[in-house]
Amino acid sequence: MKLFNLPLLNAKRSKLNRIAKRLAAKRNRDVRDTEMSFHGFELLEPRVLLSASPEIIDVIKTEAGASFSEPVVVGSMLFFAADNATNGDELWKTDGTAAGTVIVKDIIPGFESSDPYLLTNVNGTLFFFANDGVHGIELWKSNGTAAGTVLVKDIFVGLEDSVDDQTMIAVGSTLFFAADDGIHGTELWRSDGTTAGTLLVKDIAPVGDSSSNPENLTNVSGAVFFQADNGVVGYELYKSNGTAAGTVLVKDIQPGASSSGPNVLTNVNGVLFFEADDGVVGYELWKSNGSPSGTVLVKDIRSGPEPSSLAYLIGVGGTLLFSARTEANGQELWKSDGTTAGTVLIIDIKAGTSGSYPRDFTNVGSTIFFTASDGVLGTELWKSNGLAAGTLLVKDIRPGSAGSSLNDLINVNGNLFFEANDGTFGSALWKSNGIASGTVLVKDFRVGFAEPRLSELVNFNSTLFLEADDGLIGQELWKSDGTAVGTTLVKNINLGTLSADVSQIFNFNGTLFFSARDSINGTELWKSNGTAGNRVLVKDISPGIGDSRPGDFTVANNILFFTASDGVNGRELWKTNGTTTGTLLVKVLDPSTSEFSGPGQLTSFDGKLFFNADDGVHGQELWKSDGTAAGTQLVQDINPGINGSSPGGLTASSGALIFGANDGVHGFEPWRHVPFTFGGLLFGTALIKDINPGIANSNSFRFTQTGGVLMFPANNGVNGNELWKTDLLGTGTVLVKDVNPGPTGSDPRDLVNVNGTLFFSGLFGSNGRELISSNGSAALTNLVKDINAGTTSSNPENLVNVNGTLFFTANDGAHGEELWKSNNSAGNTLLVRDIIPGTQGSNVDDLFNLNGSLFFEAKDLTHGNELWTSNGVSEGTLLVKDLLPGTQSGRATDFAEFKGALAFSANDGIHGSEELFLLGPVLFGTDAAD
């Protein structure tokens, strides 16, 4: 799935997901459809594989969650973004009561989301970015009423976005932000809330439409300081008073075109502190009063060119506290009064060179609370008054060395609130007055649930408001006075249906295995024989409502392998035969319980499973398994030590396993593993060729077998990223063709083999990114067609082979992104159907070949994103079914073949989002999946 499908996932809290949702708002325009009959298949009765027993139906129906986010206080109201399952993600407000918690305005009427973000209080007016589906992502304001929630200005006129993930800051009654009007690039703007008063402050990088990209906007005594690049001196420190004349370079800290990269800008009593690199001492602590002479290095904390890794800068009573790194002490707690002598280590919490990594500094009165690890108790809650004697562990919340996973520290009326896990209650709400006895559990929202479920903590009217999930109603808006009884639901905003989160659908020996969630077991391993009502929890791998999140299903030697986390060992390698007792942890590779070092790139080869993993000793290296603990072994420590070689792109080809890896000497290059003597190759694991000589990377990892030749993109440091081929020998590993001469190369993407011809998306000189094909020779590696004629790219994506015809998506500049096909000639590279006439595009995505029939997701003018099919001609490109009637989107995804039927995840508005459906051949009738 592309990013625009990510809003359907549970993890709506992350910044990445909010960006994805903004992309969704940009792409998901209203589209049209012509109702037509559908050939060859029919939608069987939806297989609601996770329908619950009657006694928990009511619970499940209310567990969707509103995903409360972006909270900001404006006057007597708390504004935030939320999704009630009817209006999409829109602007809401609350006065702290259920009756006073209401949607402000449905900016995009209906199910689609305007996705408000960067909500900012400017002198009593709320400003934010949103997308109304007409103007792209632009600047809005609100006074808390629907009529008073209006577009301030369409800065980049039309559907294009003027902003993506930029910052905004209030200075008095003026809003400063970065935006792109389509003429000047991304530059500094200001607004007083009127269209006429929303203006470009200055075109800092005036050459063409180049951008200065202002970032880290910081208010210091009414002036805005920020980093920007004028195209001459690199990213340096600027300031602005809101006028073009008053927007000036403060100082070229690293002289010349190189950037000093001012970062973590922090105002402490009218003095700007920040991190910068002058090209001599590396990234260190600087300060500025806004003049060149007053912009000076405070101290070279970590001697030499290595950075001191400044982080979490905060001002307390005129003193700057921060985290910094030295060779002697590691990352520890520091302070500065702005002088070299007054910039000192407060205390070495974890004695020695490894560092305690203090972070999440939060000011409560004259005390700073933070998290740190002393090397004995794990990461726990600490406090400091800026003195060594006053820097103390507050409490060992989770006894032992595990640490209590603290998050979201916030000051509410002199009490510190935060999320922590004491090892008994799981992640829950805590508070502290700075002493051990006063550091106590406030409320365990989900009893026994270890996963983080709290976020968006905010102080509103001296009361803590937050997003929390109690396991019954999903992520919703709560408030707390610091007591368990006084921690209550404000309002259940989203009364929608449970998302079963069906994903990772996999057919193994006539049984569908998949990951799914219910309100009792969390996200676990399920199976079905495809008949209605047949759904079986295979095993509650992470007992209770914890999530094991099974995935990466791969069959090797008739064993179904997958990865999962049992809540004890982190993400590890598992196997299943479809029974509870036969679902077993294969081996604990990394005893550190890391979620991020677990197995990946699972690939069947030579009757075994090969994968990459980090065992905590060798770094990420190549492993293999026969399904037993003893037979799960490191293949080779390619890069000796803890760094690992990071094997990627594992591909079985011609009796060898091919992959990219970095041995620490040659950079990331193509490797082979041959389990026996083959074609004169040596037994074992070896580098094929150092394509980019020395420690530089060729980044070879996307290998595709085509007509007996293994082809892949690689960068030799001269031709840029181009198409290469290999016969598994160094001498036979050669550049196919320098398709796009120059340092960038053609940058091949979406490689697919169609009857011995390799198709890919690539840059082709003045034609931009277009469709290219190759048979492995330079002479027959050519542009197929300049689909978007001229220098503009058509950006071919989603390439798939269906019975010898290439299908893909592209934009020819006249029809928007639509479905195309090709037989490798320009004349037969054709638009299949303009589903939405005009330049809008129909959001075609997730192309899938089911036994010679093409299925995909698309949107027309009448229906949202739904399931479509195509036989390669316009009249045969049809909507299969409007799963979620009207303009709302059923969003068919996670396609898999099952007994000749199409299994997929979708939302019909009845059984919940991301449920499991089957589409069966008419030939077999409605019993096809039984």
Q: How far apart are CA 100 and CA 491, in angstroms?
A: 9
pLDDT in tens, 72-131: 999 999 999 988 767 888 999 999 999 999 999 999 987 788 999 999 999 999 999 999
Mean pLDDT of 311-320: 93
Contact between 119 and 70 (Cβ < 8 Å): yes
Instruction: Classify residue 16 by its DSSP letter.
Output: H
Spatial CA neighbour of 78 closest among 130, 121, 132: 121
User: Which residues pair with residue 74 across a beta bridge?
Assistant: 77
- Collapse the DSSP code of 21 into the 3-class scheme (helix H, G, I; strand E, B; otherwise coil) and give the result: helix
Q: How far apart are CA 611 and CA 650, in angstroms?
A: 8
Number of separate helices (H) and strands (E) present in the chain: 2, 72
**All residues at 6 or more sequence positions from 424 whose CB lies less than 8 Å from its CB, including other chains:** none
Q: Flag whether pLDDT at 499 surpasses 80.
A: no
Q: What percent of the chain has pLDDT over 70?
A: 87
Among 45-59, 259-273, 590-604, the range with the most confident prediction by mean pLDDT is 259-273
Rounded to 5°, the CA angle 489-493-499 comes to 105
Contact between 35 and 463 (Cβ < 8 Å): no
Q: Flag whether pLDDT at 58 surpasses 50.
A: no
Residue 304: the pLDDT is: 85
Q: How far apart are CA 695 and CA 125, in angstroms?
A: 54
Q: Give long-range contacts, CB 8 A cutoff, 24+ apart: 417-425.
A: 417/442, 417/457, 417/464, 417/480, 417/482, 418/381, 418/457, 419/452, 419/454, 419/457, 420/381, 421/397, 421/450, 422/397, 422/398, 423/398, 423/399
Torsion angle (degrees, nearest 10) of CA 345, 350, 351, 355:
-70
Residue 890: the pLDDT is: 84
**Residue where the block lists tokens 């002289």:** 255
Q: How far apart are CA 185 and CA 656, in angstroms?
A: 49
Q: How far apart are CA 773 and CA 453, in angstroms?
A: 48
Q: Flag whether pLDDT at 593 surpasses 70.
A: no
853-858/311-316 β-pairing: unpaired
Tell me the CA distances in angstroms from 255 to 232, 236, 299, one per residue in order. 10, 10, 19
**All residues at 6 or more sequence positions from 510 whose CB lies less than 8 Å from its CB, including other chains:** 529, 899
Instruction: Identify which has the larger pLDDT, 625 or 16.
Output: 625
Residue 402 burial (C-beta neighbours within 10 Å; 0-12, 13-18, 19+): middle
Tokens of 682: 């040596």
pLDDT in tens, 427-481: 899 999 999 999 999 999 876 554 556 888 989 889 999 888 876 677 788 999 9
Residue 707: the pLDDT is: 79
- The least confident of 434-438, 801-805, 832-836, 890-894 is 890-894
User: Which residues pair with residue 584 across a beta bridge?
Assistant: 575
Q: Flag whether pLDDT at 329 surpasses 80.
A: yes
Residue 369: the pLDDT is: 97
- Split at pLDDT 50, 70, 90, the class of 884 is confident
Contact between 839 and 830 (Cβ < 8 Å): no
Neighbouring CB atoms inside 10 A of 339's CB total: 10
Tell me the CA distances in angstroms from 534 to 50, 206, 249, 929, one per residue in order. 9, 64, 67, 11
- Collapse the DSSP code of 681 into the 3-class scheme (helix H, G, I; strand E, B; otherwise coil) and give the result: strand
Residue 20: the pLDDT is: 39
Instruction: Classify residue 579 by its DSSP letter.
Output: S
Instruction: Identify which has the larger pLDDT, 546 or 220.
Output: 220
- Collapse the DSSP code of 275 into the 3-class scheme (helix H, G, I; strand E, B; otherwise coil) and give the result: strand
Q: Flag whether pLDDT at 1 surpasses 90.
A: no
pLDDT in tens, 724-744: 999 888 899 999 999 999 888
Spatial CA neighbour of 137 closest among 111, 109, 118, 120: 118
Q: What is the mean pLDDT of the chain?
A: 86
Residue 272: the pLDDT is: 97
* Residue type (1 letter), 392: L
- Collapse the DSSP code of 54 into the 3-class scheme (helix H, G, I; strand E, B; otherwise coil) and give the result: helix
Contact between 868 and 856 (Cβ < 8 Å): yes
User: Which residues pair with residue 842 across a beta bridge?
Assistant: none
283-288/296-299 β-pairing: antiparallel
Tokens of 578: 């479809």
Residue 500: the pLDDT is: 67
Q: How far apart are CA 668 and CA 449, in angstroms?
A: 40
Mean pLDDT of 288-300: 97
Tokens of 770: 């277009």
pLDDT in tens, 99-112: 999 999 999 987 78
CA 274 to chain centre: 28
- Split at pLDDT 50, 70, 90, the class of 677 is low
- Collapse the DSSP code of 65 into the 3-class scheme (helix H, G, I; strand E, B; otherwise coil) and give the result: coil
Contact between 635 and 622 (Cβ < 8 Å): yes
Q: How far apart are CA 800 and CA 808, in angstroms?
A: 6
Residue 166: the pLDDT is: 73
**All residues at 6 or more sequence positions from 234 whose CB lies less than 8 Å from its CB, including other chains:** 254, 256, 257, 258, 259, 260, 261
Q: How far apart are CA 606 and CA 748, in angstroms?
A: 29
**All residues at 6 or more sequence positions from 461 whose CB lies less than 8 Å from its CB, including other chains:** 73, 76, 96
Instruction: Classify residue 499 by its DSSP letter.
Output: P
Q: Flag whether pLDDT at 164 surpasses 90.
A: no
Q: Flag whether pLDDT at 202 surpasses 90.
A: yes
* Residue type (1 letter), 281: V
Q: How far apart are CA 798 and CA 760, in angstroms?
A: 10
pLDDT in tens, 370-414: 999 999 999 999 999 999 999 999 999 999 888 998 999 999 999
Q: How far apart are CA 920 and CA 487, in angstroms?
A: 49
Residue 29: the pLDDT is: 27
- Split at pLDDT 50, 70, 90, the class of 28 is very low
Contact between 640 and 714 (Cβ < 8 Å): no
Contact between 843 and 835 (Cβ < 8 Å): no
Walk across the sheet containing 344-347 and list its strands.
Answer: 311-316, 319-326, 330-336, 344-347
Q: What percent of the chain has pLDDT over 90?
A: 66
Q: Which helix (H) or strand (E) holds 272?
A: strand 271-277
- Collapse the DSSP code of 12 into the 3-class scheme (helix H, G, I; strand E, B; otherwise coil) and give the result: coil
Spatial CA neighbour of 671 closest among 656, 658, 652: 658
Contact between 496 and 66 (Cβ < 8 Å): no
Q: Flag whether pLDDT at 752 surpasses 90.
A: yes
Q: How far apart are CA 323 and CA 264, in angstroms?
A: 12
Residue 497: the pLDDT is: 46
Q: How far apart are CA 339 and CA 892, in angstroms?
A: 60
Q: How far apart are CA 465 and CA 455, in angstroms?
A: 10
Q: Where are the alpha helices (DSSP H) in 315-361?
A: none
Tokens of 355: 């560092």
- Collapse the DSSP code of 93 into the 3-class scheme (helix H, G, I; strand E, B; otherwise coil) and give the result: strand
User: Which residues pair with residue 806 across a beta bridge?
Assistant: 801, 822
Q: How far apart are CA 880 and CA 237, in angstroms?
A: 56
